[in-house]
C-alpha cells in the first residue's frame, strides 16, 4: 500500500511542476478578484478541475451572472465525460459505490499518467494524485500571499526611502 502511494507520488512529480506554476497564477488572479483563500480551497477540493477554475475566477465580476459562469465552466468540463469513459476498463470489477467515490479523483494530469502506466491499482494511484495536486495547489495559493506581501513590503520601503530623500 505504502509502495503504491510512493509510486503514485513519484509518477506525478513531473506534472506537479506545472500544477505549482498555474496554481500561483490562479492565486494571483484571485487577489485581484477578492476571492478568499477558503473559497479557493473549496474550489480546489470540490470542483478539482484546473481550467474551469480559471474560467470561473476570470468571469467573476460585479454584478455576477450566475448562469453564464456555471454554464461556461461545465462546458469546459464536458471532457471529463470522455475521460472517465476511457477509464472503464480499470473499474470493470468495482461496485457502483466504489466507482462513485473514486471518479471524483480523476483529473487531466492524473488520467494522462494513469492511462500511460495501465496499473491495476488505479484507485490508490488516483487518490495519491488527488492529494498531491490538492497539496500542490494549496501550497501555491499560500505562496501567492507570501509573494504579494513581500512585494507590498518592498513598495512600502521604497516609498518611505524616497520620502526621506525628499
Pull the grid cell for residue 67: 448562469
Residues from 34 through 93 that contact another protein (CB under 8 A): 34-36, 39, 42-43, 46-49, 52, 56, 60, 62, 64, 66, 69-70, 73-74, 77-88, 91
Triad 40, 41, 45: Cα angle to 5°: 120
Q: Does 106 bind another protein (CB under 8 A)?
A: yes
- Angle in degrees, 0-180, between the axes of helices 122-165 and 37-46, rounded to the nearest 10: 160
Q: Does 100 bind another protein (CB under 8 A)?
A: yes
Pull the grid cell for residue 144: 501567492
Burial (CB count <10 Å: 0-12, 13-18, 19+), residue 37? middle
Judged by beta carbon, residue 21 or residue 157, the one nearer another protein is 21
What residues make contact with another protein under the rule CB under 8 A? 13-14, 17, 33-36, 39, 42-43, 46-49, 52, 56, 60, 62, 64, 66, 69-70, 73-74, 77-88, 91, 96, 99-100, 103-104, 106, 108, 112, 115
Amino acid at each position: 500500500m505504502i509502495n503504491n502511494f510512493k509510486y503514485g507520488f513519484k509518477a506525478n512529480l513531473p506534472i506537479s511542476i506545472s500544477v505549482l506554476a498555474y496554481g500561483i497564477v490562479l492565486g494571483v488572479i484571485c487577489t485581484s478578484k477578492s476571492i478568499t483563500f477558503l473559497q479557493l480551497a473549496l474550489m480546489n477540493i470540490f470542483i478539482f478541475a484546473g481550467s474551469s477554475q480559471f474560467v470561473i475566477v476570470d468571469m467573476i465580476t460585479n454584478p455576477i451572472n450566475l448562469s453564464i459562469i456555471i454554464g461556461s465552466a461545465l462546458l469546459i468540463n464536458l471532457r471529463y465525460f470522455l475521460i472517465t469513459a476511457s477509464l472503464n476498463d480499470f473499474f470493470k470489477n468495482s461496485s457502483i459505490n466504489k466507482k462513485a467515490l473514486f471518479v471524483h479523483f480523476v483529473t487531466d494530469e492524473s488520467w494522462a499518467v494513469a492511462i500511460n502506466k495501465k496499473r491495476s491499482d488505479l484507485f490508490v494511484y488516483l487518490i495519491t494524485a488527488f492529494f498531491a495536486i490538492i497539496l500542490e495547489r494549496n501550497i501555491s495559493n499560500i505562496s501567492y500571499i507570501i509573494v504579494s506581501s513581500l512585494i507590498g513590503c518592498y513598495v512600502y520601503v521604497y516609498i518611505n526611502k524616497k520620502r526621506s530623500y525628499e
